Amino acid sequence: MTSRQTWHAIGAMTSIAAAALLPVVSGDYYTSFGTEIAIMVLMLSSYRLIVLTGEWSFAHVVLQGVGAYTAAIAVKDFDWPFPLTIAAGAAMAALMATILSFPLLRMKGFYFLMGSFAAAEAIRLLWRKIPFFGGTRGLSNIPAPYLDLGGLTIDFGHPANFFHLSLAVVVCCLFLMWRMERARIGHIWRAIQQQDILAQSVGIESRTYRRLAFVIAAAFAGIAGVLLAYAFGTVTPNRFGLNFALYLMIWSIVGGTRTFYGVVLGGVVLMIFDESLRFAEELRPGVYGLILIGVMLFCPQGLERLLQSMARVLPGTRSDESGERGTLSRPGKS
């Protein structure tokens, strides 16, 4: 393990440990807010898998919604336990993404973005119009997960317990995504993003791997949706609207998408910022616009660039302008 990797590992472990202490040092309100941040971090990290292939999508939040609705129905109508709802949420979101990918991935760039918007709105319309999904009011009274191991019972309805459960799920998902990015599939996604034609010329079936990214990202978004359904106890179509899709995009850009931790950083910082603007709801879009313009002008690679600049002062670290590139490294370097 290189010094840089050691610092990354120490940073990640410290962040997780610090996050786990949140319920100890704050009340229920901020603990629940911590759960929201954890879910948002999962959303942003999964969204980045699509960005890795060079695409931006408006459909990602709706695929989170598919996971949320799946969990809500599975719990309310079939009384499924938490682990099963996680699996079902991920599977349904992945299935929906697979179906959507066939028409959408015939397009690229701006056309893909517009296509994803149309697909997302169509799905939201179905949720609003079909009574099974609860119409515009959605589905409510989703019971919290409950664990009964003989003598030991844990009620995840308690904010601290659910926060720890969400944190554990999110950390596992982040670890899987991190490993994927450093494995062969991650290299293929980056190759497609950087030079699609060259990638095809060396045997990479671009559309297949773009589809894989879209579907895997959707599965993780589905898991985020399941957590969201439990966290709020309700699922409504409006929660997965265009506003949220735009914010997801803005937060990714502000955080930076070149490194794994960029979007995590963007999610945490902007969620806190968003919460601090709660007193002035109507100002939020304007403020976000200003932040976006500011980042584009003064820090076009996002907040991750600032973190990299700070990291340079640490012993044993080096400048890495192109971000994390996975494990394809020269012998003797890792």
Partner 1 sequence: MAILELFALRKTFGGLVAIDNVSISVEEGAIHGLIGPNGAGKTTLFSLITGFYRANAGKVAFGDTDVTSMTTSQRAQRGLVRTFQANLLFADQTVFENVGSGSLMGRQRHALDWFLERAAHQAKAAASIQEILSFCRLEAKAGTLARDLSHGQQRVLGIAIALAARPRLLLLDEPFTGMTAREKDELAEMIQAVRARGTTVILVEHDMRAVMRLCDRITVLNFGKVLSEGTPEQVRRHPDVMAAYLGAA
Give the footprint of partner 1 on this chain (CB under 8 A): 179-180, 182-185, 187-188, 190-191, 194-195, 197-206, 322, 325-331, 334
Q: Shortest approach of partner 1 to residue 24 CB, angstroms?
A: 34
Least gap, CB of 1 to partner 1 (angstroms) = 11
Nearest to 229 by CA among 154, 122, 132, 133: 133
Which CB sits closer to partner 1, 198 or 277?
198
Q: How far is the CB of 182 from partner 1 (least distance, A)?
A: 6
Other C-beta atoms within 10 Å of 215: how many?
20
**DSSP state at residue 257:** S
Asked if 229 contacts 39 with a C-beta cutoff of 8 angstroms, the reply is no
Which of residues 314 and 328 has its CB atom nearest to partner 1 in the complex?
Answer: 328
CA dihedral angle for residue 16, residue 215, residue 69, residue 116, rounded to 10 degrees = 110
Contacts of 226 (CB under 8 A, 6+ apart): 67, 68, 70, 71, 85, 86, 88, 89, 90
Shortest Å, Cβ 318 to partner 1: 11
| DSSP strand pairing (152-155 vs 146-149) | antiparallel
Helix (H, G, I), strand (E, B) or coil at 148: strand
Q: Which is nearer to partner 1, 1 or 24 (CB)?
A: 1
Query: Is the CB of 191 or the CB of 271 nearer to partner 1?
Result: 191
Q: How far is it, in rounded angstroms, from Cα 325 to Cα 70? A: 35
CB of 199 to partner 1, least distance (A): 7
Cβ closer to partner 1: 36 or 324?
324
- Alpha-carbon gap, residue 48 to 180, rounded angstroms: 12
To the nearest whole angstrom, how small is the minimum distance from the Cβ of residue 144 to partner 1? Answer: 32
Q: Which is nearer to partner 1, 278 or 330 (CB)?
A: 330
